[in-house]
Amino acid sequence: MKKLVKILLFIFISLNIFGVEEGEAEKPIIPMVPVLPALPNEKTPIETKTVFMGMKTEIVVPLEIISDIEIQAMVIDEQEIEVPFEIEFNKTPDRDKTYKIGYTQTEIDIDEDGKVDTYIYSNTNIDSKILKDNKVVIQGKNISKEGYHEKIVYITVETHD
């Protein structure tokens, strides 16, 4: 058995399988990394490249109300008054029947006596830049308190399917 180990060891050494010559110590493996010169007060040149990139973006401007609406009316006794108004938007909608108008209130008790006396009628679908055929109807028979009454109603643009 000892003879077999010696023969195999002799064959490995003669074929230089271990990569070590006889009488030589094993050399450390050093990776091939480029080394920048370290000269004092000298700048190392850096390679620069110009790269051109293309970009496409899609910008969507939301549909917004750009008009302020102020309605003033004088109601005498039991008179019923209709006040028409228009709503203007910043652009024409992209698609028909996609946007609708919303009000915080459409039935209002303007004098706060418990009876609804003011109604807002409007087309809910927005299909043009100016929404026409809107009106406020004030029923004088339901107003019991005399004087100047004010109410703020907020209008929103909503999307629907």
For residue 54, being part of any structural domain is answered with no
Which residues 6+ apart lie within 8 Å of 91 measured at CB?
61, 63, 129
Q: Where are the beta strands (DSSP E) in the chain?
A: 80-88, 99-103, 107-108, 118-121, 125-126, 130-139, 155-159
In a domain, 137, yes or no: yes
Residue 65 DSSP symbol: B
Output the pLDDT for position 50.
79
Spatial separation of the C-alpha atoms in residues 106 and 103, rounded to whole Å: 6
Whether the model clears a pTM of 0.75, i.e. scores above it, the answer is no
Q: pLDDT by residue (tens digit) across 120-129?
A: 999 889 889 9
Residue-level pLDDT at 38: 58
Q: What is the pLDDT of residue 57?
A: 84
Domain that holds residue 122: 80-159
* CA–CA dist 87, 100 (Å, integer): 12
Residue 130 falls within a domain, yes or no? yes
Number of separate domains in the chain = 1
In this predicted model, what pLDDT tens digit does every residue of 94-130 receive, in sequence order? 877 789 999 999 999 999 899 999 999 998 898 899 9
In a domain, 2, yes or no: no
The residue ranges of the chain whose pLDDT is under 70 are 1-6, 8-45, 161
pLDDT of the residue at 62: 85
In this prediction, residue 44 carries a pLDDT of: 63
pLDDT score for 101: 92
Q: Write down the pLDDT at residue 67.
A: 87
In which region does residue 15 sit, left (phi positive, over 0), alpha (psi from -120 to 50) or beta (all else)? alpha
